[in-house]
Amino acid sequence: MASKHGLGRGLSALINEKPVAAETPGPSPINAVTPPEGITSVPVDKIRPNPKQPRRRFAPEALEDMVRSIQTHGVLQPLLLRRIGDYYELVAGERRWRAARQAGLETVPAILKDVNDRDALELTLIENLQREDLNPVEEAEGYHSLTEQFALSHEEIALRVGKARATVTNALRLLALPEEIKHMLVNNRLSAGHAKALLGVAIDEEKCFLARRAVEEGWSVRVLEKAVERLSRAPRKPRAMRDDIPAAHLQDLSDKLHRHFGTSVRLVPSRTLANGKKAKGLIEIDFYSNEDLTRILELFGLSDQG
């Protein structure tokens, strides 16, 4: 595994905490020799985004705010770049670069760093994960990339991005959610708290059903947690009971009743519950006409004439 060159300390280890030097007028030639750790001015159109950048979505409102700030104050924090052939690849600062382009700047301040593919990717992931504006899915995918490509444990990732280990673990669990719910997270229709509550539901269809209700009805995380709790609550165990008439004797009685009344008779025995209480029994006698009913009543010694 490639050495980390102090990557665990984050970007602050790569950029000195000093005021940004004044930008050099005009774009710097692509082959200009500049100090590796120095700040230089780089043409905006010579910069390319990192294809493995974990951020997939840049909120237009936030980008517009940054554009206005850059138009007023310029780019105050340099981008971190590495040279690839005849262009520069972003290691950190894609949103600043996008805003600078949108603001019409021709050059931006940058620090050039000579890093290999693995270190560049780790720096890109860590720089983004240290920010607070990733959506929960982007954050989880960033952690996943660090575990898959660098074999980092949850504890190691937490140290690198400056977050609690439980935060990393809980974020990674969100990747197991159905795509429908992850889409809701990306679009800020559900929060990470809602998603965490839905992980307690075993069946994906039920997860999605509750997620839709939470969105449509504006449920808080607490309301959703209660719904999940109700859904997941184990059903009551059936009450222990025993029939008061043994099965063999019950069949014998049913046969005698059938012969006596000349029709189908169903006999359900009474039952004794575990708490000692009784559950009622039942006798059902079939008849198919008024004459048949009169015959059965006469067998009971009754008359249908009142």
pLDDT at 91 over 80: yes
Domain architecture of the chain: domains with CATH: 7-136 (3.90.1530.30), 178-231 (no CATH), 241-299 (no CATH)
Catalytic residue annotation: 94
Alpha carbon 260 to chain centroid distance? 67
Assess contact for 29 and 83: CB atoms under 8 A: no
For residue 17, what pLDDT band results from cuts at 50, 70 and 90? very low
Sign of the torsion angle spanned by Cα atoms 101, 15, 146, 155: negative
Check residue 56 and give its pLDDT. Answer: 56
The 10s digit of each residue's pLDDT in 227-265 is 998 887 756 555 557 788 888 888 888 888 888 888 888
Mean pLDDT of 279-301: 86
Average pLDDT over residues 134-141: 85
Q: How far apart are CA 20 and CA 66, in angstroms?
A: 18
pTM of the model: 0.51
Give the mean pLDDT of 16-37: 39
